[in-house]
Amino acid sequence: MNRRRLIAWIATAVTSMMLVIGSQFVNFSPAQSATTLNVFAAVSLTNALNAIKTQYQNANPSVNVVYTFGASGTLLSQIQGGAPADIFISAATDQIDVLQNSSPSKLVAGSRKNIVRNRLVLIAPTTSPSPGSAALNSINGLTNANIRGIAIGDYTGTPPVVPAGDYAKQVLTSRGIFNTVSPKLVLGSNVRNVLTAVENKTLANKTIDAGFVYRTDALISNKVRIADTALTTESNAIVYPLGILTRSTVRSTAQSFSNYLSSTTAQNIFKNTYGFILP
């Protein structure tokens, strides 16, 4: 190999090596990083919101929606403790009022709105633990001696820990039977905990003959039956208010998701698939 050809070969080799090395530091097709949206929501919305999440993320692949479900009062405490929430959806107005009425307000101005509504029902196991439970067909029937344990969401606290429990207490009080049935009440940590208690006929080592949940919770279980439905006049209106937290660093994404929850697609899932009432 003569000198000129050797020099040309070395130059080509060096150029190729530089291209290989350089390509390791160049991202020719950068992947779009996902935006995480943290949504704290009442546990009774679990099934519907998970279905809506699938639809929303299909339409918005750059957004990762992360849910934290629980009792509204418990979620409020977590948010007040600094939890990284972008959106809060409560099962009652009391919990979100606390955030809105703080000074300064912890909700983005104008972001609050009601997503859906619900009804409170009395449920009993489809396979009853007692003849009394099998015959139960009204809320007033809870005063019967053969009804032993009644599962109810934890209505204690200000605002209450479990809105469904507070609604149930209001209904029982409206009917003048709260004091009578109070010794039978067994508190659950959230409304789904109450549903499970009635399905399994036990809570806190006590026999459960009945319980109070939302109609949408009763509809997802074949282990319980609806014995009675509370009148809308017997409690505060059962609504699910949403608010965007001022602490959110992804407010535009939070607003996008909020808008989607009010869309025809999401509202059809709420109503037609899971039995919620439109706002």
User: What's the whole-model pTM score?
Assistant: 0.88
Class in CATH terms, 35-117+239-273 = alpha beta
Topology of domain 120-234 in CATH is: D-Maltodextrin-Binding Protein; domain 2 (3.40.190)
Separation between Cα atoms, residue 56 and residue 63, nearest integer Å = 9
Cα–Cα nearest to 197, from 175, 212, 184, 215: 212
The residue type at 17 = M
For 87-108, the pLDDT digits (tens) are 999 999 999 999 999 999 999 9
Cα–Cα nearest to 161, from 222, 215, 116, 95: 95
Question: What is the pLDDT, as a whole number, of residue 31?
Answer: 46
Is residue 244 within 8 A of residue 86, CB to CB? The reply is: yes
Fold match between domain 35-117+239-273 and domain 120-234 = yes
For 212-256, the pLDDT digits (tens) are 999 999 999 999 999 999 999 999 999 999 999 999 999 999 999
Question: What is the pLDDT, as a whole number, of residue 23?
Answer: 42
Rg of the chain over CA atoms, in angstroms?
27
Question: For all residues of the chain together, what is the average pLDDT?
Answer: 91
Separation between Cα atoms, residue 88 and residue 96, nearest integer Å = 8
Domain ranges of the chain: 35-117+239-273, 120-234
